[in-house]
C-alpha cells in the first residue's frame, strides 16, 4: 500500500481544491492510501493568521500593493541576501510542526499544491525524507514556485515549464499535465439534465456570474450593466455562503423577475458551469481550468493584479475569452457573443481544446508509477532520524 501525503495551504480555495482533486484521482487507483492536510494547521498561530490574512486582505483591498509585491518577488534573490534570508528565517520560525506530521503519516511521497510546504521541506532533502512533488495551481510559474529540492514539478503549460527551467529547475524534473481539477470533469455531463436539476430554462441561454469571491458592489455593477443591455439570457449569480452578497443583490430578483436567479451554496459549481453558455468570474487558476474543461467561454471582470492577470492571458491566448476593466464593455461583448452563435461555437471549442480535465489523473499516475519503478513502497520503518535531525538543525 502506497501512502501519499497531500499538502496544501488555506490561502484562498484553489490550492485545497487541487489537492482534493489529486486525492480523488489516487482513490481511483488500487493500492493507495491518501491523506490531505492544510500546511497552515501545523504552523504557529501568529504565522497562520498573518500568512492567510496578508494575501487575502492585500489582494482584495489594495490590489495595487499586491501587484507591486507580486512583480518585485517574481525573480531570483541571492540565497544569502536580506530578502531571502529574512523569508527563510520567518518561515522556519512559523512552521515548526510539519515534521511531526510526516513522522506520524509515514508517507511514501509528499505532494505540495502550494509552495509553503515545499519551502519548509526542500532544504531537508538530505535527511530521510520521502520524495517531494510540487504542483503549480496558476498558469504562471512565479519565482516562489521555483523552490529547488523537489523531485518532480507538475505544471499547467509548456510556457510554465520553460519558466521553471529558466529559474534553475532541471528540465527532467518538470512535466506538463495541466492544473489538477476534479476528475469528474473528464466525464461528459447532460446539459439539459443539469439545467432541469437547477431549475433553469432548458433552451434559453444561461450566463453565470460567479459572485462569491468578488466585492458585492462589483458584482452588482456587472449585473446592472448586463441587464441594461437587455441580456438575452437568464443571469445566474452565485452568492455561495455570503449573506452580505445575497442581501445586497436580493433586489435584483425582485426587479428583474425570471431574468435573474441568485444561487446559494452548492456542493459543486460544475453542473452550473456545464449548463452555462458564458461564465463571468474571477480568474483563479482552478476556476479557469474548470470552466475551460467544460468548453465554456469565460469573461473576467477587473482581474486582481498578479497571478490572475497571467491566468487571463492564458484564456485570451487560447481564444476562449478575455479580461475586462470596464463592466459596460464586458456587458456589450456578452450580449454580442450570445447573439453570434458561430463565434460562440468557435470560442467554446477553443475552451474545450485548452481544457485539461485529466490533469489530476496524470499527476497521480506519474507519482505512483515512479514510486513503483523505484521500489520505494517498502518504506523505512520510521522517519524518526529525519525528524530529530531536522528539529535540531532548525533551532
Instruction: Return the domain boundaries, the chain.
Output: 2-181+357-394, 187-354
pLDDT tier for residue 391 given thresholds of 50, 70 and 90: very low
27 three-state secondary structure: helix
Read off the C-alpha cell for 268. 459543486
**Number of residues in the chain:** 395
Query: Which distant-in-sequence residues (6+ apart) come within 8 Å of 222 by Cβ?
Result: 209, 280, 301, 327, 330, 331
The arrangement of secondary structure in 187-354, i.e. its CATH architecture, is 3-Layer(aba) Sandwich (3.40)
User: Residue 245 is inside which H or E element, if any?
Assistant: helix 243-256
pLDDT confidence of residue 375:
56
Does the fold of domain 187-354 match that of domain 2-181+357-394?
yes
Q: What is the pTM of this model?
A: 0.90
Read off the C-alpha cell for 226. 448586463
pLDDT in tens, 281-340: 999 999 999 999 999 999 999 777 788 999 999 999 999 999 999 999 999 999 999 999
pLDDT in tens, 142-194: 999 998 889 999 999 999 999 999 999 999 999 999 999 999 999 999 999 99
**Integer Cα distance of 135 and 156 in angstroms:** 9
Determine contact, residues 215/56, Cβ cutoff 8 Å. Answer: no
pLDDT in tens, 246-264: 888 888 877 776 789 999 9
pLDDT tier for residue 374 given thresholds of 50, 70 and 90: confident
Instruction: Give the CA radius of gyration of the chain.
Output: 22
CA distances for 85 relative to 59, 79, 118, 164, 281, angstroms:
25, 7, 16, 21, 37
pLDDT confidence of residue 387:
44
Nearest of 24, 10, 7 to residue 268 by alpha carbon: 24
- pLDDT > 70? residue 268: yes
- pLDDT > 60? residue 394: no
Query: Which distant-in-sequence residues (6+ apart) come within 8 Å of 317 by Cβ?
Result: none
Give the pLDDT mean for 45-54.
86
Place of cell 436539476: 197
Give the pLDDT mean for 70-75.
83
> Which residue would you say has higher pLDDT here, 75 or 277?
277
Which of 62-71, 94-103, 242-251, 349-358 tops mean pLDDT? 349-358
pLDDT confidence of residue 127:
67
pLDDT confidence of residue 395:
35
**Integer Cα distance of 266 and 111 in angstroms:** 28
Partners of residue 2 on adjacent β-strands: 32
pLDDT confidence of residue 1:
84
Listing DSSP states for 90-108 in one string gives: HHHHH--SHHHHHHHH--S
Nearest of 55, 42, 119 to residue 86 by alpha carbon: 119
Partners of residue 279 on adjacent β-strands: 208, 298
236 three-state secondary structure: strand
Cα angle: 314, vertex 316, 318; to 5 degrees = 70
Nearest of 59, 62, 1 to residue 29 by alpha carbon: 1
**Integer Cα distance of 256 and 242 in angstroms:** 21
Going along the chain, which residue ranges are E strands? Answer: 2-8, 32-38, 109-112, 132-135, 152-155, 174-176, 206-210, 234-238, 260-263, 278-280, 298-301, 321-324
Pairing relation of β-strands 152-155 and 174-176? parallel
CA distances for 381 relative to 98, 261, 341, 385, 392, angstroms:
19, 56, 62, 10, 21
**Integer Cα distance of 227 and 334 in angstroms:** 11
pLDDT tier for residue 86 given thresholds of 50, 70 and 90: confident
CATH superfamily of 2-181+357-394: Glycogen Phosphorylase B; (3.40.50.2000)
Averaged pLDDT score across all residues of the chain: 88
- pLDDT > 90? residue 245: no
Nearest of 21, 48, 5, 91 to residue 285 by alpha carbon: 21
383 three-state secondary structure: coil
Determine contact, residues 192/34, Cβ cutoff 8 Å. Answer: no
Read off the C-alpha cell for 73. 518577488
pLDDT tier for residue 57 given thresholds of 50, 70 and 90: low
Cα angle: 238, vertex 243, 245; to 5 degrees = 50
pLDDT confidence of residue 380:
42
- pLDDT > 80? residue 388: no
pLDDT confidence of residue 382:
44
Amino acid at each position: 500500500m502506497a501512502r501519499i501525503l497531500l499538502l496544501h495551504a488555506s490561502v484562498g480555495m484553489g490550492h485545497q481544491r487541487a489537492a482534493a482533486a489529486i486525492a480523488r484521482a489516487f482513490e481511483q487507483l488500487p493500492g493507495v492510501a491518501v491523506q490531505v492536510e492544510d500546511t497552515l494547521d501545523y504552523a504557529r498561530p501568529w504565522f497562520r493568521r498573518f500568512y492567510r490574512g496578508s494575501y487575502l486582505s492585500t489582494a482584495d483591498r489594495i490590489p495595487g500593493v499586491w501587484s507591486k509585491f507580486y512583480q518585485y518577488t517574481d525573480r531570483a534573490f541571492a540565497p544569502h541576501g536580506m530578502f531571502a534570508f529574512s523569508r527563510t528565517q520567518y518561515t522556519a520560525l512559523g512552521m515548526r510542526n510539519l515534521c511531526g506530521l510526516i513522522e506520524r503519516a509515514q508517507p511514501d511521497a509528499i505532494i505540495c499544491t502550494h509552495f509553503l510546504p515545499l519551502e519548509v521541506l526542500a532544504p531537508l532533502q538530505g535527511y530521510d525524507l520521502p520524495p517531494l512533488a510540487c504542483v503549480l495551481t496558476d498558469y504562471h510559474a512565479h519565482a516562489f514556485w521555483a523552490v529547488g529540492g523537489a523531485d518532480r514539478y507538475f505544471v499547467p503549460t509548456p510556457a510554465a515549464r520553460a519558466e521553471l527551467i529558466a529559474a534553475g529547475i532541471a528540465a527532467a524534473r518538470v512535466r506538463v499535465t495541466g492544473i489538477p481539477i476534479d476528475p469528474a470533469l473528464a466525464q461528459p455531463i447532460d446539459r439539459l439534465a443539469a439545467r432541469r436539476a437547477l431549475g433553469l430554462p432548458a433552451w434559453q441561454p444561461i450566463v453565470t456570474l460567479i459572485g462569491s469571491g468578488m466585492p458585492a458592489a462589483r458584482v452588482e455593477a456587472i449585473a446592472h450593466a448586463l441587464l441594461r443591455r437587455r441580456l438575452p439570457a437568464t443571469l445566474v449569480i452565485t452568492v455561495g455562503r455570503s449573506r452580505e452578497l445575497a442581501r445586497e443583490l436580493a433586489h435584483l430578483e425582485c426587479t428583474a423577475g425570471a431574468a435573474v436567479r441568485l444561487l446559494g451554496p452548492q456542493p459543486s459549481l460544475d453542473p452550473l458551469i456545464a449548463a452555462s453558455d458564458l461564465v463571468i468570474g474571477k480568474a483563479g487558476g482552478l476556476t479557469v481550468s474548470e470552466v475551460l474543461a467544460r468548453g465554456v467561454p469565460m469573461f473576467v471582470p477587473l482581474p486582481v493584479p498578479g497571478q490572475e492577470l497571467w491566468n487571463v492571458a492564458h484564456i485570451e491566448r487560447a481564444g476562449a475569452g478575455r479580461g475586462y476593466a470596464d463592466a459596460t464593455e464586458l456587458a456589450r461583448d456578452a450580449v454580442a457573443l450570445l447573439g453570434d452563435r458561430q463565434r460562440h461555437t468557435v470560442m467554446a471549442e477553443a475552451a474545450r481544446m485548452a481544457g485539461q480535465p485529466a490533469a489530476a489523473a496524470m499527476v497521480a499516475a506519474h507519482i505512483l508509477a515512479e514510486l513503483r519503478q523505484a521500489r520505494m513502497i517498502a518504506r523505512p520503518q520510521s522517519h524518526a532520524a529525519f525528524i530529530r535531525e531536522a528539529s535540531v538543525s532548525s533551532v
